[in-house]
Amino acid sequence: MCEDMAETIKEDHTKPKEHEEASQKKEKITELKKRIEELENQLKIKSEEYNRLLDISKRIKAEYENYKKRTEIQFYENLDKAKAEILVDIIHIFDDIERAVENLKPTSPMEEWQKGIELIVNKFKKFFELQGLKVINPLNEAFNPEIHEALVSETSSVDKEIISEVFQKGYMLNKHLLRPAKVKVSKPEKIENIIESNNKNTIKETEDKDHE
């Protein structure tokens, strides 16, 4: 009986200790969960901050690339403008030399001098090609007001406006018009004139058949 009483006392003494340990364990688990939630919130905040900074970084990079392109385009535009100013003066000199060569006759006593001038002309042409300069010599081509300047016009039996004579060649510097070609334009006759002409031809053909 004494042993049973001792065992009961021992069990009563052990239960509070086990309860205390369970309570402490539960508190630790609660604290651990709370800490995990705090870390998850911090991670979320840091992740959002990282994405925000990444977005800013991408925008800055894109703006920098656009700035580089604009600067590069501006640089080449300024370069072309500077080249154009120099080339315009050179072209005027070249015009005079080219006209002199065209006016020289093959039987001229200055034949060797003529060959020398023609050599200079060819050197000019090669130089122009290296600078990106292209000649506009639109003889027998369709008239284009964007690159041609009509000084004279005439009517003729053509279907559309055609350049019948080039007074002065034009030049393009890369994609920019440096000087328009000065030309004479042949324009189509008026529709009324064409119809009248056709009617006259028809009548004449009919009369010829009647005489036959």
Give residue limits of the domains in the chain: 136-191
Check residue 195 and give its pLDDT: 42
Check residue 69 and give its pLDDT: 82
Instruction: Convert 49-104 into a string of H (helix), E (strand) and C (coil).
Output: HHHHHHHHHHHHHHHHHHHHHHHHHHHHHHHHHHHHHHHHHHHHHHHHHHHHHHHC
Check residue 193 and give its pLDDT: 53
pLDDT digits (tens, 9 = 90+) for 11-58: 555 556 666 777 777 778 888 888 888 888 888 888 888 788 888 888
Q: What parts of the chain have a pLDDT lower than 50? A: 191-192, 194-196, 202-203
Q: Which residues contact 90 (CB under 8 A, 6 or more apart)?
A: 124
Check residue 192 and give its pLDDT: 38
The CATH class that applies to domain 136-191 reads: mainly beta
For residues 183 and 133, give the distance between their C-alpha atoms in angstroms, rounded to a whole number: 20
Check residue 191 and give its pLDDT: 43
Q: Which of 125, 127, 134 is nearest to 174 (CA)?
A: 134
Check residue 201 and give its pLDDT: 53
Task: Report whether 189 contacts 163 (CB < 8 A).
Answer: no
- What three-state secondary structure class fits 110? coil
pTM value is: 0.51
Query: Hey, what are 65's tokens?
Result: 């690339």
- What three-state secondary structure class fits 188? strand
Check residue 155 and give its pLDDT: 84
